[in-house]
Amino acid sequence: MAFVAFAEEFLMRCAEPLRSKLASRAELSSELAALHALAIAEWPLELDEGYFLAYVADRLDPSADANILGRLSAADLYLAFGCAIGDERAMGFIEEHFFPRLAGALAHMDRDGTLIDEVTQQLREKLFIPRDSEPPRIANFSGRGELYSWLRVAATRTALNIVRKGKREVRLADEHVAEAISDDLEINFLKKTYRQAFHAAFAQATKSLSSKDRNLLRHHLSDRLNIDELAGMHSVHRTTVARWLREARESLALRTREIMCQNLRLADDELHSIMALIRSRLDFSIRSYLDSGER
C-alpha cells in the first residue's frame, strides 16, 4: 500500500512528457517497489523509500519512454543517493567496493606510488562533500549507466589533471594510458550516456536556426560548396561567409547545450566535456541531419 502513495508522489516529481507516459502504467507502484527491493538487496542501507524515489524521479530524462525504470541502474542510484545525503554506510561501501577497483584501473599511471592516493582524496572532496550549499557532485549521477563507469571517468580525469599540473611521467606506450590521454574513455562514456538527449536537443536546436543559417550550413556541409562559391552565391566577401558559418555553428552548439542543460542535471565539468563532444561531432551531425531531409 505504501508504494501506491509513493507512486503518486513519484509522478508529481517527474517532468513532462515523461509524467504522462508513466501515469498510464497500472503497474507503476509495483515497478517502484521492485526497483527499491533490487536496490536494497545490493546495498543494505536503511534509507527513506519515499525520499529515494523522489530522488530517482528528479533525475529521469523527461524525453525518455515509459520503460525507463527498467533500464536504470537502481542499486547504483540507491548507493549514490545514500552518499548524496551523507549516509556513512553508503560512503563506506564506496571506499570498500569502488575505490580499490579504481586504484587497479589507474595503477598503470602511478609511477611513484602516490598518484592513486591523490586521486582518491580529490574524489572524496570533489564528489562526496557539499560545496556552497550545493549537494555533493555524486548527486549528478543519474543511474543511466553504471556507477563504477561514472566514477572511473571522474577518476581518470582527475588523474590526468594531476599528471599535467605536476608534469609527472606517464607510460604512453600503455594502450590504456594512451586511451585516457586522448579522452576516448570519457568521450565514449558521454556518447553512451547522453546520445538520446543529444539527438533530441540537436534536432530542436537545428529547427531554431534562421532559414539563412540553415541554408548556409546545408550548402556548405551537405552540398559541399566551399567558401568562395558561397560568397559568389550571396555576393559578399569570403571573410563574411566564413564569419556567418562560424556564428551559425556556434549558435547551434550553444543552443544544443542550452536544451540539454534544461533537461539534465549536470556538473560544470560534465558540461565542459559535453560541449567538447558537441563541437567535435557538430559538422557530422549537421550533415547527417540535413541529408536526411531534416526528419
Q: Whole-prediction pTM value?
A: 0.60
The phi and psi torsions of 86 (rounded to 5 degrees) equal 85, 25
Q: How far is CA 277 from CA 48, 103, 205, in A?
A: 37, 27, 16
Domain boundaries of the chain, sorted by first residue: 2-72, 89-182, 192-291
- Other Cβ atoms less than 10 A from the Cβ of 17: the count is 11
Place of cell 505504501: 2
Dig out the grid coordinates for 268 from the structure: 560544470
**CA–CA gap between residue 130 and residue 276 (Å, rounded):** 27
Which conformational region is residue 86 in: left (phi greater than 0), alpha (psi within -120 to 50 degrees), or beta? left
pLDDT in tens, the chain (295 residues): 467 788 889 999 998 899 999 998 888 999 999 999 999 999 999 999 999 999 999 998 888 888 899 889 999 999 999 999 999 999 999 999 999 999 998 888 887 778 999 999 999 999 999 988 788 999 989 898 889 989 988 898 888 888 877 645 444 334 444 344 344 444 555 555 666 777 777 788 888 888 888 888 888 777 778 888 888 888 888 888 888 888 888 888 888 878 877 776 655 555 666 666 666 666 666 766 666 554 4
